[in-house]
Amino acid sequence: MRFLPFCLAMFFAAFLSAVLFPAAVLAQENEGLEWQSGERTYLTGKHVSVSGKVDRSLTAIGDDIVIGNDAVVDGDALLVGRTAIIDGRVSGNLEARAARVLINGPIDGDVSIWADELELAADAEIGGDFSFFVTSEPEIDRDALIAGEISAHILDGPIADEGDEAGARKRGFGRLFELTFTSALFLAFLAAILGLFAPGWTSAVQDAGREAPVQAIAYGVGWLIGVPVLALFAALTVVGVPLALLMLLLHVAGLALGMVMSIHLVGAALVGAFNIDLGSQRRLLAVALGALVLWAVAGLPFVGGVLWFAAVCAGIGAVLMSGRSRYLL
């Protein structure tokens, strides 16, 4: 029995090493993962810093993303995070989805921005069209150059600061379902443990979620809403109080399991959809990728909380559907 805790400790150490201290050439401060697949380089982590030349398109997901002034992205760039700063050159198109976006470098192609705050500094040069969806007036320096057409969309209801109670109420799901980087890392660790010690079961859950994602989300919503309601009715009778407590415990366990399995679902979906080659550590790296993407998506303005909630529901529903399929067989 002593062997299992030792394995768990070693696995946790290896996982943290892979996630927090990878061998990175483009971003030594990346604190995440870096790999190449096809004609694209992928960078994920809490702090992503790019310097030097990237000889292909770039996808970066993180809390703070910085394209340094000495960086050259030889292709398109897709940036998803909370803060995106582009000081270097992007030879293709630029897409950024972040709470704050700052452009202070040349972009040869089209630029598409979704953000709360957008700033074009004096050295910004956009060679193509420029479209943006923001919740406040963008700051565009008079020396910034835009060669193509401008499509501006100012949205109502800006995302408030943490201390703004009125704005916090407007955020709805975004305030109720938040996913911090530490929480995502912990959930990824649990997901990796499940994948290591129950690979057949996790694969079955992934298959169930992939075959019927909408049904999985519906099952998850039904579980989150239905079980507490049934527990309440059971608690109305003295005999049903123990049953109500058991149902509430199952509800909490199902919610936690749904959070963990949502990472498996997202990681497997991304690897399959983009045909990402992760080598021999495919399962472990897919878990890390799924956790980082979910963490980044959960922090997006407007829809982040809703998407995170849907992912958790899908995880719960996939577990229920997998169990039902096994029972029927």
Domain boundary among 158, 189, 220: 158
In a domain, 67, yes or no: yes
Decide: pTM greater than 0.75: no
CB 87 within 8 A of CB 73: no
Mean pLDDT, all residues of the chain: 78
Indicate whether 147 and 276 sit together in one domain.
no
| Total tally of structural domains belonging to the chain | 2
- Close Cβ partners of 324 (under 8 Å, ≥ 6 residues apart): none
DSSP type of residue 281: G
Indicate whether 197 and 310 sit together in one domain.
yes
| Residue at token pair 């960078």 | 43
Strands in 125-126's sheet, in edge-to-edge order, are 53-54, 72-73, 89-90, 106-107, 125-126, 145-146
CA distance 9 to 13: 6
CA distance 41 to 294: 19
Phi and psi at 66, nearest 5°, equal: -130, 120
pLDDT in tens, 74-104: 999 999 888 999 999 999 999 998 889 999 9
Indicate whether 138 and 210 sit together in one domain.
no
DSSP run (H or E) holding 48: strand 40-50
Indicate whether 208 and 262 sit together in one domain.
yes
Indicate whether 289 and 314 sit together in one domain.
yes
Indicate whether 198 and 109 sit together in one domain.
no
Indicate whether 135 and 215 sit together in one domain.
no
pLDDT of 149 higher than 80: yes
CA distance 260 to 264: 7
The percentage of the chain sitting over the pLDDT mark of 70, rounded to a whole number, equals 77
Phi and psi at 96, nearest 5°, equal: -135, 130
pLDDT of 22 higher than 80: no
Q: Are strands 130-134 and 150-154 parallel, antiparallel or unpaired?
A: parallel
pLDDT of 186 higher than 60: yes
Indicate whether 110 and 85 sit together in one domain.
yes
In a domain, 10, yes or no: no
Indicate whether 152 and 289 sit together in one domain.
no
Interval 101-118 mean pLDDT = 94
In a domain, 8, yes or no: no
Indicate whether 320 and 291 sit together in one domain.
yes
**Given this model, what pLDDT does residue 291 score?**
83
CB 248 within 8 A of CB 231: yes
CB 270 within 8 A of CB 289: yes
Indicate whether 143 and 219 sit together in one domain.
no
Give the domain range for residue 202.
Answer: 175-328
Per-state percent for the chain, helix, strand, coil, to nearest 5: 50, 25, 25
**Given this model, what pLDDT does residue 150 score?**
92
* Partners of residue 35 on adjacent β-strands: 42
Opening angle at CA 41, ends 38 and 44, nearest 5: 135
pLDDT in tens, 200-217: 888 888 888 888 889 999
User: Count H helices, E strands: the chain?
Assistant: 9, 17
Instruction: Using DSSP, state whether 38 is helix, strand or coil.
Output: coil
CA distance 100 to 133: 12
Indicate whether 85 and 217 sit together in one domain.
no
